[in-house]
Structure 1
C-alpha cells in the first residue's frame, strides 16, 4: 500500500512543535545550571551534539531515555514525558488527555 503524500501544513506544525520542545528543554537545562555536555554525560550520551540537536528541534528525546533526561534536569519523569508527548505527538496527547494542559505547560513548556 503506498504511503499518503505528506501534508505540508502538518509538516510545518510538527517542525514548530519540535522547536517549541527544544526551547522548553533548553530552558529546563539552563534552569538546572547544566551545560549540554553535562546533560549528555548524565543521560549517557557519547556526544553532547545530540543535546544540541534536540534543543534546536532537529531531534527528539527518545522514549526509552525520557526518564534519564528528566532526572538529569531535575524534573518529574511523568510530567516530563507528558509535556514531550504534547509537543511530539499532539494528536495522541489529545486522544489520551483531551485539551487538558500538563503542569509543564503552565511552567513554560
Structure 2
C-alpha cells in the first residue's frame, strides 16, 4: 500500500511545528543547565547528535522516551508529553484537550 503524498502546506506546517518544538526543548535543556552531550549521556543515548537533530526540528522525541526526557530536564512527564503532542500532532491535541468535549462524556455507542 502506497502512502499518499503530503499536502505542501501541511508539510510546511509540520516542519515549522517541529522547529518550534526543537526551540522549546532547547530552552528546557538550557534551563536545566545541560549541554546536548550531557542530556544524551544522562538519558543513555549513544550519540548527542540525536538531541541536536530534535532541537533543530529534524526529528521527534519518541513517545516511549518522553518520560525519560522530561525527568532528565526536571519536568513533569504529563505536561511535557502534552506540549510535544501540541507540536507533533496538533489535530490530536486539539481533539483531546481543546474542544472542551471529553470522550468520557459521549455515549458508549458514539465512542465505538
TM band (smaller chain): 0.7 to 0.9
Q: Identify if the C-alpha distance between structure 1 residues 50 and 2 changes in structure 2 by more than 3 Å, giving closer, same or farther.
A: closer
Secondary structure at the aligned position of 2:11 is classed as helix
Aligned residue for 2:16? 16
| Structure 1 alignment gaps of length 5 or more | 101-109
4+ residue runs of structure 1 moved beyond 4 angstroms? none
| Structure 2 alignment gaps of length 5 or more | 101-112
Q: Identify if the C-alpha distance between structure 1 residues 13 and 77 changes in structure 2 by more than 3 Å, giving closer, same or farther.
A: same
Aligned mates of 1:70, 1:86 — CA distance in 2: 15
Aligned mates of 2:9, 2:72 — CA distance in 1: 34
Aligned residue for 2:110? none
TM-score by length of structure 2 reads 0.85
Aligned mates of 2:5, 2:29 — CA distance in 1: 37
Aligned residue for 1:103? none
TM-score by length of structure 1 reads 0.87
Aligned mates of 1:61, 1:82 — CA distance in 2: 12
Aligned residue for 1:97? 97
Aligned residue for 1:45? 45
Q: Displacement of 1:16 after TM fit?
A: 0.2
